[in-house]
Amino acid sequence: MSTTEQRVAIVTGGARGIGAATAVRLAAEGRAVAVLDLDESACADVVEKITAAGGRALAVGCDVSDAEQVEAAVARVAGELGAPTVLVNNAGVLRDNLLFKMSDSDWDTVMNVHLRGAFLVSRACQKHMVDAGFGRIVNLSSSSALGNRGQANYAAAKAGLQGFTKTLAKELGKFGITANAVAPGFIVTEMTAATAARVGMDFEDFQKAAATQIPVQRVGRPEDIANAIAFFTGEEAGFVSGQVMYVAGGPLN
């Protein structure tokens, strides 16, 4: 494949939040983008935004934790947009609780979406990347990978994604494929809005309180994360692999 051909990206969890901003940003960088989320119709707004700006995009309904759905979704993307060689494993859920109240299903759901999901979609895409001699994989970790009260499941999954990322970097580097992780701090999305609701705080007050703890004195926006992802997925980032970039408005610890 020549580098003048349009690269095809898959953004999981692309219907809203960080995934939506990333899909729009990658399209602006010239990628054709498969916006993949649980409900295909929920991806319509993002696809419309991309196509209205002159880009190519496809809405794909898929549960990333289901192997058959993932295989079918990646095959569909390859058939309708082209071989996916850029992958952003962004789909995520929270099931926060203190350890003694955390249910088996709270644990399994978070592991299945974040870890199994990233594994399944990466495995399905890697053959296309190997064939192309080019690939960019970015996994969404989190500042919670360093440990966060009430998030034993999520912290374990997000730390696990860092090990997964480094391993993919080692295994796939010889095929022109890089794998990196972006670990966001506090980003304003429906996920953090749900956390505010769970702890009984007004979302604006929750953001203000969070900002006081952040060196740059503001909370993050989805575009802050899309910007870091755009760097890792860029043609020129081929010598940067196996890295974890914290994007949190300052250092953590």
Q: How far is 253 from 250, CA to CA, in rounded Å?
A: 10
Least distance to ligand NAD, CB of residue 27, Å:
17
Distance CA 232, CA 211 (A): 26
Q: Which is nearer to ligand NAD, 148 or 166 (CB)?
A: 148
154 tagged catalytic: yes
With a CB cutoff of 8 Å and minimum separation 6, the contacts of 140 are: 18, 88, 89, 90, 92, 161, 181, 182, 183, 184, 225
Contacts (CB under 6 A) with ligand NAD, residues 89-108: 90-93
**Catalytic residue selected from 154, 164, 206, 246:** 154
The structure tokens listed for 163 are: 């090990």
Pattern 193-232, ligand NAD, x by CB under 6 A? ----------------------------------------
Of 16, 49, 95, 116, which one interacts with ligand NAD (CB under 6 A)? 16
Q: What minimum distance in Å lies between the beta carbon of 103 and ligand NAD?
A: 18
Q: Give the separation between CA 244 and CA 223, rounded to whole angstroms.
A: 18
For ligand NAD, the closer of residues 192 and 233 by Cβ is 192
165 binds ligand NAD (CB under 6 A): no
Give CA–CA dist 97/155, Å, rounded: 12
Q: Residues with catalytic annotation?
A: 154
